[in-house]
Structure 1
Amino acid sequence: MITQKQRLYLLKISLTVLAFLLLCSCASKRDLVYFSDLSAASVVSDPKKENVKIAENDLVSITVSSLSPESDRLFSGNQNVLADASAPKIGYRVNKEGNIRVPLIGDYTVKNLSLDEARWGITDQLSKQIKSPAVDVALLNFKVTVIGEVNKPATFNIHDDKINLLEVLGLAGDMTVYGKRNNVLVIRTENGAKTMKRLDLNKQEALASPFFYMKQNDIVYVEPDKAKAFEYSQNTRILPIIIASISAVAVVLAVILKR
C-alpha cells in the first residue's frame, strides 16, 4: 500500500517533468516585423549610394538612337534585351584589359567606370561619328543570389542597379517565419575580396547601411532560427518516444494516486 508521503513524492516528480516539458516547448520570442522600431513620424536618410562600377568580364549593353538609322543598326543587337528576360544576352564583354569593342569607336575602356560615366564617354566618342546620339548603357549580368530561409531561393537577374535588400527579398518571396530578420548576411565581392556584413532588419539603422543597396554578384543569406534548427535536428526523431513514455508514466501515476 502506497503511503501519503510516497504519493506526494510521485506528484512532485510529475510536476517537475511537466514543468520541464513546458520550458522546452517555449520557443524564443521572435520579432517578425521589419523595422519594428520605426515610429509613425520616423525619417531615415538613405545611405550614400555607391554607383555600380563596371568590372572585368561584365556584359555591357549599349543602345543608341540618333539621326542616322544606319549607324543605329550597328547597335541593334542590344535592342529590347533588358525588356525581355528570355532574350539572349547579346552585349559587349569587358576583357581583362578592361575594354569593350564598340562599333564606330573601337576598343574603349569601361572598367571601374560607373554606368553614367561609360554612357557620357561613349556619347562623346560617337558624337564625332554620328549626329546627336542618345546612348544608354546597362549591365546584363547584374545578378543577386538569395538563399536560406526564404520562400523562393534563387539567383535573380537585376535590371535596376539601384535595387535594395527589401526588394530582392521580395523577389525571393520574402522570408519564412523561421527566417532571422535580425541577422541577415550580405556577402559582397569587390576587387577579388569578399566582404560580409550582417544586418538587423528589425531596426531602422539597417536602412543607412551601404549594404542595404545591392551590387552585382551579392549573396544574401537568411539564417534559420533555433526553432527551425530544432525541428530538423536528428534528436527530434526520438521526441515521439519521449512523449509516449511520459504519457505512460502519467497514466501509471494517475492509477497509483487514486488508490
Structure 2
Amino acid sequence: MLKTRSMNSNYLLFVFLSVYFFSSCVSKKEIIYFQNDEIDQSKVSNSYKTIIKPDDLLQITITALDTEAVKPFNLSAVTYSTSSNSAIGVAQQQSYLVDNSGEIDFPVIGKLKIGGLSRDEVINLLKEKLEPDYILNPNINIRIANYKISVLGDVRQPGAYTIPNERITILEAIALAGDINISGKRDNIMVQREEDGQKIQYRVNLLSNNINISPVYYLQQNDVVYVEPNYARIQSASSNSNTSLFISVTGLIITIVSILTR
C-alpha cells in the first residue's frame, strides 16, 4: 500500500514537471532564419539613401582648388579639456545640428532647409548656393556624426549602437546586439522609424527570405528594433521568481492527494 502511494506521488510529480518543461519548449521552425519563401531577385535592391532628419548632427566639409575661398565655409570649433589648473583648447570641425524645422544655419549662406532631403540632394543644394559666386568646382562631403540605431527586447546585448559608416541592415543590427535569444520571436520583429514627424512601425519576419525586400531591410538613423519575447519566455519570467513556491505547492498537492487516497 505504501509502495503504491509512493508510486502515485512520483507519477504526479513527473506529470507536473513534464507540463512545466514542455510548456517552455521552442520549435525548430520558430528559430531558423530564412527558411520560408523564395527570393524574387527582381525586387532585391542594394541601393540605400540617407535621409536628413531633425536632430542629425552634420559634419560638412567643403574643398576646392582655391583653399582661401573655402575657409569661411569650414569653420572650426574649439573644445576645452581641463587638467590641474590649465585649460587646453583642441580645434575640431564645426558641426551643424538640424533643428525641428529641418534647417541648419550655414556660414555666409544662412538658413538652409535640408530636412527630408537625401545626402545627394543636400550636396546639390549646397553646390547651387556656392557656385559660382563663392567657390568654383566645390567638392562637398557630408557625414552624420551622431548616426545610431537601437536594438531592444529579447537579444543578448540590447542597447544603442553608433554606426560610423551610416549603412546598416536589420540583420547587421541584430548581429551587433549578439543575435536574438532562443526565446525571441523571429517572425514579428518591430522596427520603429520617424517619417515626416510621425512614428511609423514596420513588422519584419526573419523566418522568411522576403526580409531582403522589406522597406526596413536597410535601417536609418535613430531606428529602433524591438524583438518580442515568445510566450514561453514571458511565462518563465513570471514563474522563475516563484520556482520555489511552485515546488512547494506541488509537494503540498502530492501530500494532500496521498492522504486522500489512503
Q: TM-score range by the shorter chain?
A: 0.7 to 0.9
Summarize the Cα distance change of 1:223–1:237 in structure 2 as closer, same or farther, 3 Å threshold: farther
Q: CA deviation at 1:16?
A: 5.5
Aligned partner of 2:62 in structure 1 is 64
For the residue of structure 2 that corresponds to 1:179, the secondary structure is coil
Q: CA deviation at 1:122?
A: 0.8
Gaps of 5+ in 2: 78-90
Distance 2:21 2:143 in 1: 52
Q: Is the 8 A contact 2:37 2:210 kept in 1?
A: no
Aligned partner of 1:220 in structure 2 is 225
Aligned partner of 2:87 in structure 1 is none
Q: 2:243 aligns with which of 226, 236, 250?
A: 236
Q: 2:17 aligns with which of 18, 21, 28?
A: 21
Summarize the Cα distance change of 1:141–1:243 in structure 2 as closer, same or farther, 3 Å threshold: same
Q: CA deviation at 1:189?
A: 1.9
Distance 2:149 2:155 in 1: 14
Summarize the Cα distance change of 1:244–1:204 in structure 2 as closer, same or farther, 3 Å threshold: same
Q: CA deviation at 1:150?
A: 1.6
The share of aligned pairs that are identical, in percent, is 28
Distance 2:142 2:27 in 1: 47
For the residue of structure 1 that corresponds to 2:164, the secondary structure is coil
Distance 1:237 1:183 in 2: 33
Q: TM-score, normalised by structure 1?
A: 0.75
Aligned partner of 1:142 in structure 2 is 147
- Considering only aligned residues, what root-mean-square deviation do their CA atoms show, in Å? 3.6
1:30-54: per-residue Cα shift (whole Å, max 9, x none)?
4332212377xx5644368673332
1:173-192: per-residue Cα shift (whole Å, max 9, x none)?
22222222222111122223
1:165-180 aligned at under 5 Å gives the runs 165-180=170-185
Q: 2:107 aligns with which of 89, 103, 126?
A: 103
Q: Is the 8 A contact 1:49 1:213 kept in 2?
A: no
Q: How many residues align?
A: 239
Q: TM-score, normalised by structure 2?
A: 0.74
1:60-117: per-residue Cα shift (whole Å, max 9, x none)?
2211121122344442649xxxxxxxx9784112234433222343322212211110
1:173-226: per-residue Cα shift (whole Å, max 9, x none)?
222222222221111222232222221111112222112221222111111223
Question: Which residue identity lines up with residue 245 of structure 2 in the other structure?
Answer: I
1:178-189 aligned at under 5 Å gives the runs 178-189=183-194
Q: Is the 8 A contact 2:12 2:254 kept in 1?
A: no
Distance 2:126 2:112 in 1: 8
Aligned partner of 1:115 in structure 2 is 119
